[in-house]
C-alpha cells in the first residue's frame, strides 16, 4: 500500500479506493455466480454463452463510437455544460446501439445458421448494446474523480444480475434466460447513473447537432482502433467456437474469467490517474513524463506479481472452483495471465496518445495487432485449442506494446517511457535520472 501511495495523490487514491472496494465486491459476486453457472451449464453451454458475450462485445466497440477515449477530456474542458456533453453522447450512443444490435444478430444468423440456440442467445445478449447507451455518464464522474457514484452503480447492477441468475439456477432455466443477465446489469446501472447525474449537475440532457459533429470528429479516429482492439480481444472465443467447438470455448472463457478477476485494480488506477495526467500535459514536460512512468511502472510490476501467483496456483484454483470437468482450462490460464501487464500498459498509453495528439497512429497499432492475432489464432487454435488462443493473445499484446509502436517514429518516446518505467528510471524521483 505504501508503494502505491508513492505513485498516487490523495485524491487519486481515494477515487481508486472506491473503485477498488466496489470492484472487490463485484468480483466476488461475479466469481461465485460464474462458478455456479459454469458448473450448472457445463463446458459446452457455458461456451455458447461466452461466445455470444464476445460477439456482443465486438459490436459494443462499434456502438461506443470511440467516445470513451475523449469524453473525460471533453467533460474537463466543458465544465459548465455537462448536460450538452452527456446529452449529445447519449443520443449518438443510442442510435449506434440500435444499429449494432441489429448487426450483431444479423451476423449470428449468417455464421450460426445451423445452430438456432446460438442465434437466440446472441440476440438476447445484444439487447445490452442499447442499454449500454448511458455508460458515457461514467466519464463525467471520472473527470471529477467522483468514481464513488459509478462504483456503487456498477455494484448495484452486478448484485441485481447475480440475484437474477441465482433465481434462474434454482428454477433450472433454459440457456436463453441467462443471456438476458447482461441487460439486467446495464439497466439498473443506467438508472442509478442518470439519477445521480441529474442530482449532481442540476442540468438536463441536451442534444446539440453542432457539438455532435465536433465530438464525432474527435472520437472517430478512435473508432477503428477500438474495433481492432475488440476484434483481437474477442475473436479468440468466436474462432474457438467455430473451429474447435463450444467446450473448448468454455475452457478458454474460464481461464479469461480467472485471469481478469483482479484487473479491476488496474482499471481503477487507470481511471484515477487519467485526469491528472491530462492536466499535467499542459504543464512541464518532465512532470508529464514522470506521471506516465509512474503509472506504467505500477501497472507492470503489480501485474507481474499477480501473474506469478496465478501461474503457480492455476490447477488448484480451477479444480476447487470449477471441478474436474474444467481441468483443461489450467494451461490456458497459465499462459493467458501474462497477457495482463501488456494489455493494461496499452490501456495506460491511450492517455499519453490523447495528450500528445497521436491518435492517427492508433489505426496502425490496433490494425497490426488485430491482423497478428487473427493469423496466430488460425495457426495455433487447430493445433492447440484454448492454449493456442491464449498464446496468440499474449504474443499479440507484446507486439502491440513494444515492437509495433517502436516502428513509428513519433511513438518511440512512449516506448522509451515504458522501458524507463520497467527499469524504475525516473519513477521515484521528481527528476528523470540518466536519460
Q: Is 431 within the bounds of a domain?
A: no
Top pLDDT among 147 and 435 is at: 147
The C-alpha cell 460477439 sits at 55
pLDDT tens-digit series, residues 9-61: 555 555 556 556 666 776 777 777 778 888 888 888 888 888 888 888 888 88
pLDDT tier at 297, thresholds 50, 70, 90:
very high
**90 in any annotated domain:** yes
Q: Is 280 among the domain residues?
A: yes
pLDDT of the residue at 387: 93
Domain that holds residue 177: 2-422
150-184 as b/e: b if 16+ CB within 10 A: bbbbbbbbbebbbebbeebbeeeeebeebbbbbbb
Average pLDDT for residues 297-324, to the nearest whole number? 92
Nearest to 12 by CA among 137, 140, 142: 142
pLDDT in the model for residue 15: 54
At 77-93, the pLDDT tens digits run 777 777 788 888 888 88
CA 403 to CA 423: how far, in whole Å?
Answer: 18
Mean pLDDT of all residues in 400-425: 89
Out of 19-33, 114-128, 204-218, the most confident range is 114-128
Long-range pairs for 10-15 at CB < 8 Å and ≥24 separation?
Answer: 11/145, 12/145, 12/272, 12/273, 12/276, 13/272, 14/145, 15/145, 15/146, 15/147, 15/148, 15/268, 15/271, 15/272
The pLDDT score that the predictor gives to residue 4 is 47
Is residue 434 domain-resident?
A: no
Average pLDDT, the chain: 81
pLDDT at 289 over 60: yes
In a domain, 351, yes or no: yes
pLDDT tens for 185-205 read 777 777 777 777 787 777 788
pTM for the whole structure: 0.68
Residues 320-345: pLDDT tens digits?
Answer: 888 888 999 999 999 999 988 898 89
Per-residue pLDDT tens for 246-255?
A: 888 889 988 9
Q: Is residue 96 part of a domain?
A: yes
Could you give the number of structural domains in the chain?
1
Instruction: Identify which has the larger pLDDT, 172 or 138.
Output: 172
In a domain, 432, yes or no: no
Average pLDDT over residues 218-231: 74
SS (H, E, C) the chain: CHHHHHHCCHHHHHHHHHHHHHHHHHHHHHHHHHHHHHHHHHHHHHHHHHHHHHHHHHHHHHHHCCHHHCHHHHHHHCCCCHHHHHHHHHHHHHHHHHHHHHHHHHHHHHHCCCCHHHHHHHHHHCHHHHHHHHHHHHHHHHHCCCHHHHHHHHHHHHHHHHHHHHHHHHHCCCHHHHCCHHHHHHHHHHHHHHHHHHHHHCCCCCCCHHHHHHHHHHHHHHHHHHHHHHHHHHHHHHHHHHHCCHHHHHHHHHHHHHHCCCCHHHHHHHHHHHHHHHHHCCCCHHHHHHHHHHHHHHHHHHHHHHHHHHHHHHHHHHHHHCCHHHHHHHHHHHHHCCHHHHHHHHHHHHHHHHHCCCHHHHHHHHHHHHHHHHHHHHHHHHHHCHHHHHHHHHHHHHHHHHHHHHCCHHHHHHHHHHHHHHCCCCCCCCCCCCC
Q: Which residues contact 13 (CB under 8 A, 6 or more apart)?
A: 4, 5, 272
Q: What is the pLDDT of residues 369-391, one digit of tens each?
A: 788 888 999 999 998 998 999 99
C-alpha grid cell for residue 138? 461514467
- pLDDT value of position 330: 94
Q: Is residue 260 over pLDDT 70?
A: yes
* Per-residue pLDDT, 416: 92
Amino acid at each position: 500500500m505504501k508503494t502505491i501511495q508513492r505513485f498516487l495523490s490523495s485524491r487519486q487514491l481515494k477515487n481508486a479506493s472506491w473503485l477498488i472496494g466496489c470492484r472487490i465486491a463485484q468480483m466476488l459476486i461475479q466469481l461465485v455466480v460464474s462458478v455456479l453457472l459454469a458448473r450448472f451449464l457445463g463446458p459446452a453451454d457455458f461456451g455458447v454463452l461466452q461466445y455470444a458475450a464476445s460477439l456482443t462485445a465486438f459490436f459494443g466497440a462499434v456502438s461506443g463510437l470511440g467516445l470513451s477515449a475523449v469524453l473525460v477530456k471533453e467533460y474537463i474542458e466543458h465544465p459548465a455544460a455537462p448536460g450538452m456533453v452527456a446529452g449529445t453522447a447519449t443520443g449518438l450512443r443510442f442510435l449506434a446501439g440500435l444499429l449494432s444490435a441489429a448487426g450483431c444478430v444479423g451476423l449470428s444468423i449468417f455464421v450460426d445458421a445451423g445452430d438456432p440456440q446460438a442465434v437466440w442467445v446472441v440476440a438476447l445478449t445484444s439487447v445490452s448494446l442499447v442499454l449500454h447507451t448511458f455508460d458515457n455518464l461514467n466519464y463525467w464522474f471520472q473527470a471529477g474523480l467522483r468514481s464513488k457514484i459509478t462504483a456503487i452503480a456498477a455494484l448495484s447492477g452486478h448484485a441485481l444480475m447475480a440475484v437474477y441468475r441465482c433465481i434462474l439456477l434454482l428454477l433450472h432455466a433454459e440457456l436463453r434466460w441467462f443471456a438476458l443477465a447482461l441487460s439486467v446489469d446495464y439497466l439498473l446501472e443506467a438508472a442509478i447513473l442518470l439519477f445521480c447525474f441529474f442530482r449532481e449537475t442540476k442540468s438536463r440532457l441536451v442534444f446539440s447537432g453542432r457539438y455532435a459533429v465536433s465530438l464525432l470528429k474527435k472520437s472517430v479516429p478512435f473508432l477503428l482502433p477500438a474495433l481492432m482492439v475488440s476484434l483481437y480481444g474477442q475473436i479468440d472465443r468466436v474462432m474457438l467456437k467455430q473451429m474447435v467447438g463450444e467446450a473448448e470455448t468454455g475452457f478458454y472463457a474460464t481461464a479469461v474469467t480467472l485471469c481478469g478477476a483482479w484487473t479491476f485494480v488496474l482499471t481503477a488506477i487507470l481511471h484515477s490517474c487519467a485526469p491528472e495526467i491530462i492536466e499535467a500535459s499542459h504543464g512541464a514536460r518532465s512532470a508529464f513524463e514522470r506521471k506516465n512512468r509512474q503509472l506504467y511502472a505500477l501497472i507492470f510490476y503489480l501485474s507481474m506479481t499477480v501473474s506469478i501467483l496465478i501461474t503457480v496456483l492455476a490447477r488448484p484454483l480451477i479444480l476447487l472452483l470449477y471441478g474436474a470437468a474444467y481441468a483443461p482450462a489450467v494451461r490456458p490460464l497459465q499462459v493467458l495471465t501474462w497477457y495482463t501487464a501488456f494489455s493494461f500498459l496499452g490501456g495506460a498509453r491511450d492517455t499519453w496518445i490523447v495528450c500528445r495528439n497521436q491518435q492517427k497512429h492508433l489505426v496502425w497499432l490496433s490494425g497490426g495487432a488485430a491482423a497478428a492475432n487473427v493469423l496466430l489464432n488460425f495457426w495455433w487454435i487447430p493445433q492447440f485449442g484454448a492454449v493456442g488462443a491464449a498464446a496468440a493473445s499474449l504474443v499479440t499484446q507484446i507486439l502491440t506494446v513494444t515492437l509495433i509502436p517502436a516502428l513509428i517514429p513519433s511513438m518511440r518516446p512512449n516506448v522509451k517511457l515504458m522501458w524507463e518505467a520497467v527499469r524504475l528510471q525516473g519513477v521515484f524521483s521528481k527528476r528523470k535520472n540518466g536519460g
